Structure 1
Amino acid sequence: MRLELLLHFEEPFLVPYNYPRPLYSFLIHAIKLGDPMIAKRVHGNKKDIKFVASKLFPVGSAEKTDKGLLVKSGRVKLFVGSPAWPVLEAIANGLAFGIGQVHILQKRLLDVEVKQVETPKRLSGRKLGTLSPVSVYHNSPPNGFRQWDLSPVGQPNSPFENEPAVWKELVSRNLREKYLMVHGEPFEGDFEIEVFPENARSKMFRIKRDNRTGRYTQVRAWEFHFRLRGDEELLRVAWDMGLGMRNSHGFGMIGVV
């Protein structure tokens, strides 16, 4: 399930290049206003069903600045998805209750329009694209690296002999874990992802700050076009919960190209 949100903020509104942290705070605040118990589950339980968010898309003209896209109209579009309707309902209700209270970078929300997006009947074999970059990381890479953000097309300084193969394996494993979470039973079928390297590009993001050191966690995530092949029930989990990791921070939402 997916919602399309047309958000009107105090103008001019800046869509930050480093959007994940303010976007996550904005959505969690909305969920708290809509349903505090769901907010507690989403924020505090790693094994509970969560949501996936897209990037913020400017509506109308936008000007590039050092810190982000300046949207003169103050209007942006955002997509949020989840297999659990109460999570999406909490977001929608919280935004409605929070007009004038919830904000991004001190710009208050003035109005919101909510539309439900129809799930495609078929995803397998269709050309898809990322509505927010895909984040995949390995906690114990070889050669002494601490944590490694994997690329679907490989990187020159990679500690892995075949980084794209490791990336695909972790995407598959993560998606199967989400399927188990949603359906309560393991997925036993096949899954394949084909990434088109000519469209792939990466960007660094900051997602959270260490209270002790004051340093930010840096994340490299990737945007690309691709095809998925497999059982439609599994692919709908990818549609509802996203590909890869850190989905509720605005990573891994997919859409039809």
Structure 2
Amino acid sequence: MRIRITLEPLKGRATLPIHYNSTLQAFIYRNLSPSISKSLHDKGEILGKRHFKLFTFSRILGKFKVKKNEILFVGPISIWIASPHINILESFATNFVKKEKIKLGKNFFHPFGVEVCTLKKIKGPIFIKTLSPITVYSTLLSSNGRKKTYYYSPFENEFSSIIKNNLIKKVALINSTSTLIETDENIKFSFKPIRVSKRNEHIINFKGTVIKAWSGIYELDAPQEFLLTAFDTGLGAKNSQGFGMIEKYEKINSVTNSSQ
């Protein structure tokens, strides 16, 4: 499930840092109920040694201009938020609509509206477009024994295989009775870049950590349960930091005006 919120800046325009993922994440946590916010922020859900926070969000959609280290948004903006847990989205939407004004970064906005979107059926293969760029990485040991993070590109085989393995874990968390996770080696899965070039690579600073991620148009094929999970949780890693949100891509010539 996903919601799209629309906000109108009280002064007609709003300024945010270029690397605003952490600002947007804090905005989401701040507008959840205290109990949900604390549980989601502090622990999330655990599978083995991994902690998952099963929500994701888009880049900010709207008219904008880049000015040095800031982005100037002019007029209304919208943000997509997705999660397989309806209570998270209900909590946010309830708190959002109750407020006469709401703060994002150093700016105040009027909460303009909430749109709810539920995807119940989907069949692959499908074309998808990133609403926030996808990041895929491995932690490796360098020759001197120090840990090093290696970020993959969509043109490397590991990009697809790591996305698949990550989705298997998310499916297991959401539905422990799924029969698909018992035979994960035989799961039909493919993820191919369709309209992706070097310009789709993004370097994002999240609280001092430099993250490489990729936007663009891709073809995704997987069982329906995997596709629905991908839409609800995002693809790849760091979804709760604003990475990996996708939408179904219908028209090859359509363009969404976003800051991704």
- TM-score category of the 2 structures, normalised to the smaller one: 0.7 to 0.9
Report deviation, 1:178: 0.4
Maintained 8 Å contact 1:132/1:223: yes
Residue of structure 1 in register with 2:238 after alignment: 246
Give me the whole-angstrom Cα distance separating, in 2, the residues matched to 1:98 and 1:112: 10
**Cα distance 1:123–1:17, how it changes in 2: closer, same or farther (>3 A)?**
farther
Residue of structure 1 in register with 2:217 after alignment: 225
- Percent identity reads 22
Taking structure 2 as the reference length, the TM-score comes to 0.82
Maintained 8 Å contact 2:7/2:113: yes
Amino acid at match of 2:105: L
SS at 2:216's partner residue? strand
Report deviation, 1:123: 4.4
Q: Deviations over 1:95-151 (max 9, x none)?
A: 234443x42221023223001124273241121110100011212256566112221
**Cα distance 1:85–1:65, how it changes in 2: closer, same or farther (>3 A)?**
same
Q: CA RMSD in A?
A: 2.0
Q: Does 1:207 align with 2:199?
A: no
Amino acid at match of 1:54: S
Structure 1: runs of 5+ lacking an equivalent: 154-163, 209-215
**Matched length:** 233
SS at 1:37's partner residue? helix
Give me the whole-angstrom Cα distance separating, in 2, the residues matched to 1:235 and 1:7: 29
Matching residue within 68, 71, 76 for 1:69: 71
Q: Does 1:168 align with 2:147?
A: no
Give me the whole-angstrom Cα distance separating, in 2, the residues matched to 1:120 and 1:199: 32
Residue of structure 2 in register with 1:213 after alignment: none
Q: Deviations over 1:155-199 (max 9, x none)?
A: xxxxxxxxx112222111111100001001452332221122644
Residue of structure 1 in register with 2:130 after alignment: 130
Structure 2: runs of 5+ lacking an equivalent: 46-51, 250-260
Residue of structure 2 in register with 1:88 after alignment: 89
Q: Does 1:53 align with 2:33?
A: no
Q: Where does structure 1 differ by over 6 angstroms across 4 or more consecutive aligned residues?
A: none
Give me the whole-angstrom Cα distance separating, in 2, the residues matched to 1:121 and 1:139: 35
Matching residue within 209, 212, 227 for 1:235: 227
**Cα distance 1:256–1:15, how it changes in 2: closer, same or farther (>3 A)?**
farther
Indicate the larger mover: 138-147 or 17-26.
Answer: 138-147
**Cα distance 1:68–1:140, how it changes in 2: closer, same or farther (>3 A)?**
same
Amino acid at match of 1:169: S
Amino acid at match of 2:61: F
Maintained 8 Å contact 1:15/1:56: no
Q: Does 1:193 align with 2:191?
A: yes
